[in-house]
A and B are shown apart, each in its own frame.
Chain A
Amino acid sequence: VAWAGTETETFGQFYAGHFADLVRLAALLSGSVDAAPDLVQDCFVGLHAHWTTVREPLPYVRRSVVHACASHHRHMARVRRQPPPEVRDSVLDADELEDALAKLPTRQRAAVVLRYYGDLPDADIAGALRCRPSTVRSLIHRALADLRRTIEP
């Protein structure tokens, strides 16, 4: 995962260089392949509005993606509560581990994805989740425990 950015990137270069990675991240965070590109596009639109003032665009847009995915989760939860459930979202192919990940609380899932997909250190994950690094460790610890419990009873 190419997370590194440079100070000399233009917005266009940044967009082209990071769009695909962020869509993958969004898909893993949201569990929705269909929604991920739209979520990331919105995040880039938001970044574009602040491009000249954002000092570190990658952490900025990554945090936006995490928040957008959390909002997507909340929205989908509301949709599922409303009959009839006509909306059929294309989700990632289900399997045991994916199902277990999907059942995790949003922040735990985000922490796990950012750690084990993004290979981000605690500090960066904390920046994306707006919490302390110790909280990140706690989230991941509890998430792993839940996953183990689900998959390896």
Chain B
Amino acid sequence: MTDDFEDRLRHHLAGRAAGMHPEPDPTAFVERSAGRSHRRGVVAGGVAALALVAGAGVLTGVNLVGATSATQSPASAPSTTGPGRAGAALAPGASGSSVPPSIAFQTPYTFLYTRVSSSGVTIRAYTSGSTAAGGCAPAVSCTPPTTNPQNPACPSDAMCAEPIVVPHSSSGTTGTGGTSVGGAAPPGTTTVTPVSPPNPASTCDQLVIELSTDRTIGSGSVLQPIATSSAPDTLEVLGTGSFGSAEGAPVSWVVVWVGSAVGSVQLTVSGTSVDAMTPHDGIVVLAAPGDSGLAGASVVGVDQSGATVATVPASQGEVPADSNGCPTSTGTPPSTTTTTDPAPTTTTTTTPTAATTAPGAPVPGPNLPAPASG
């Protein structure tokens, strides 16, 4: 039973709360946690694994690295993102270990652009610096955590995961050449994107895209090219994906990297242009609704005069996956032009400081030692 006074009280408190806009501060959390560990005399360090979870608009990019124990079984862990994902094994009660998880935080997104496709799909693109150490290894999650030849910086007792994107809703979609999530299927039914082999023209930085229609939302990520392409006529599919099947409103997307000579990029299905975009920093994200996916679709790059520069199939980046969702091919994805730049080696630090991080550069994710329990 309520009366006017209780309603007034409720309204007053809600108004006070609405006036505050606190943001999660992972750095402060890490510092406090490290300080507490220091007070307890716990030796800092020992874990260098880092993982990355994109906040997908909701989260600010907080992730856990499954470095609690070598005895922890990733296969038995509940997951909303896919098998073997970092942090998935660290849900409450998922492990009998009393050692809390180490933690890594993702760097904030850098907004690139937003646009609405011809079919009404709102597309937002971001870049996200990776905190992964030891170079870029997109398929790390397909490697047993105790044997990680692709990432020498990953300790043998840690599970180093690839950068992934947290779903807006606990559901899944499919994608290639990157990760893609979205839709509204029940938890546990997430389809993990087969991850393409490392692109030699990529760094650990990610291009994160968020797409939405009036019926469904989805997001995905692909590896970001390390620099502008060396050839003006470059037209390379970085990744594709789809979402919204569960809602009955499927949408497919493709991320394309183009050279300076390409003035516009079109996505054509059965000879009909369904979306087009002027490149933004060499990056194009195209989307097309429909349940046919991108089968038979092509990406066409045209120059300023309208002449076709290059045409590639939209399914160019697709990689056959095995039963575990891991890529079966280790070759370089086909492309019209390939630029080979060595991926820079990032250094993992346990405590981020302004002095060690250049402005605008990917910030190494702080990776806490496991605080003592109790």
Contacts and interface: CB of A to CB of B under 8 A. Distances in A.
Contacts of A113: 13
A91 B277 CA distance: 50
A147 B9 CA distance: 10
Interface in A39-90: 41-42, 44-45, 48-57
Nearest to B80: A8
Nearest to B106: A12
B14 A10 contact: no
Contacts of A11: 62, 64, 87, 90, 100-101, 103
B32 interface: yes
A51 B90 contact: yes
Interface in B73-100: 78-80, 87-88, 90-100
Q: Is the interface of B mostly helix, strand, loop or mixed?
A: loop
A44 B29 contact: yes
Contact of A117 (B10, B87, B371, B373): B10
B60 A8 contact: no
Interface string A2-36: 00001111111101110110011101100001001
Interface string B56-78: 00111111100010000000001
Contacts, number: 159
Interface residues of B, number: 58
Interface of A is mostly: helix
B112 interface: no
B92 A7 contact: yes
A133 interface: no
Interface residues of A, number: 49
A10 B62 CA distance: 9
A27 B187 contact: no
A17 B56 CA distance: 12
A127 interface: no
Contacts of B371: 45, 48-49
Given A15-B24, A23-B20, A53 B32 contact: no
A153 to B, nearest CB: 13
Interface in A110-153: 112-113, 116-117, 144, 147-148, 151-152
Contacts of B88: 8, 10
Contacts of A15: 24, 26, 29, 62
B347 interface: no
Nearest to A24: B17
B64 A19 contact: no
Contacts of A24: 16-17, 20, 22
A116 B87 CA distance: 34
A33 B93 CA distance: 33
A92 B16 contact: yes
Nearest to B78: A8
Given A13-B59, A51-B101, 17 more contacts: A9-B92, A10-B87, A12-B53, A13-B53, A13-B166, A15-B29, A16-B60, A20-B21, A20-B22, A27-B16, A28-B13, A48-B101, A49-B36, A49-B371, A97-B8, A117-B10, A147-B9
Q: Can you list the 4 inter-chain pairs with the closest CB atoms, starting with the nearest?
A: A12-B62, A10-B87, A23-B22, A117-B13
